[in-house]
Structure 1
């Protein structure tokens, strides 16, 4: 199964394990996300977007799959245990944001949250966020 990427006829192959929708991810992102013992020889990778699937990244020919447990940073939507990362660049978790809103009561807007936590203020998403930004 293949899913159309755009009108220019490029296609995104489905995840070889769950057959779910994938997302293009740059090689530099994968290189920064995998544990040191995982070799990266391929040039093109896709992120499996199915929350229940153990696959994090896969290649177009489906010969290489990298599982969630082979990553340094867990993918937030892949049913990870707390703390759930919200901003990988600033290392801000869901719990930290909720604390600022509910307990400290210092944040009522997105700008307040950015100011108090640093979330969404970094510029290293390409290498720190498993989705690449």
Structure 2
């Protein structure tokens, strides 16, 4: 079995499906192909300071596989950043709360699910934007570890929340509706935030 070394010296096994030399846009640990290139300014914002000397102007890609420990990889240079070498939680790779979704506005998955399932306020992206401000930021390229807009992630959470709401057993649905009626209807709750 082949291994690679991250910038901190951690050894990770290389996927049996990937042979050296590794294709430029393929994560050698999980074998996923990720053609989107990460810009330098995203890396400068995301990686821990003592790794700045390993940042290059080009050649980095973001690994989107949720179970893969690699966040950024540069196969040309043989440079690999794992989760512990990034200074922000990577939402797509987190299993426990809080799971960041919109980095510009600081909105996590649990906030969006609460609006959809418990409050019943949101049924569309426009609702989510109005009630949580998710997907209304403009600094995704420097705040989001993927270097891209959170739109796909917000959409996935919306689908998850709507499915959860539809699958609530009648007793839990009644409990959620009762809890929702106890929520104040003034501007302190369930109101569009400015």
| TM-score when normalising by structure 1 | 0.81
1:58 aligns with 2:70: no
1:42 aligns with 2:48: no
| Residue of 105, 123, 138 corresponding to 1:123 | 138
1:27 aligns with 2:44: no
Deviation for aligned residue 1:34: 1.0
In structure 2, C-alpha distance between the alignment counterparts of 1:61 and 1:16, rounded to whole Å: 12
In structure 2, C-alpha distance between the alignment counterparts of 1:73 and 1:80, rounded to whole Å: 15
Contact 2:63/2:70 (<8 A) preserved: yes
In structure 2, C-alpha distance between the alignment counterparts of 1:103 and 1:13, rounded to whole Å: 41
Q: Whose helix fraction is larger, Structure 1's or Structure 2's?
A: 2
Aligned partner of 2:165 in structure 1 is: none
CA RMSD across the alignment: 2.0
Contact 1:125/1:132 (<8 A) preserved: yes
Deviation for aligned residue 1:62: 4.6
Aligned partner of 2:89 in structure 1 is: 74
Q: Which has the higher contact order (CA 8 A, sep 6+)?
A: 1
Stretch of structure 1 that moved more, 11-20 or 114-123: 11-20
CA offset digits 1:63-98 (Å, max 9, x no partner) = 211111111222222244211111111111111011
Deviation for aligned residue 1:28: 1.0
Contact 1:51/1:79 (<8 A) preserved: yes
Deviation for aligned residue 1:107: 2.1
How many pairs are equivalent? 125
CA offset digits 1:37-56 (Å, max 9, x no partner) = 22233222111222222111
Structure 1: unaligned runs, 5 residues or longer: 3-10
Structure 1 SS opposite 2:55: coil
- Please tell me whether Structure 1 or Structure 2 has the larger radius of gyration of its CA atoms: 2
| TM-score when normalising by structure 2 | 0.58
Q: Whose strand fraction is larger, Structure 1's or Structure 2's?
A: 1
Structure 2: unaligned runs, 5 residues or longer: 1-17, 149-194
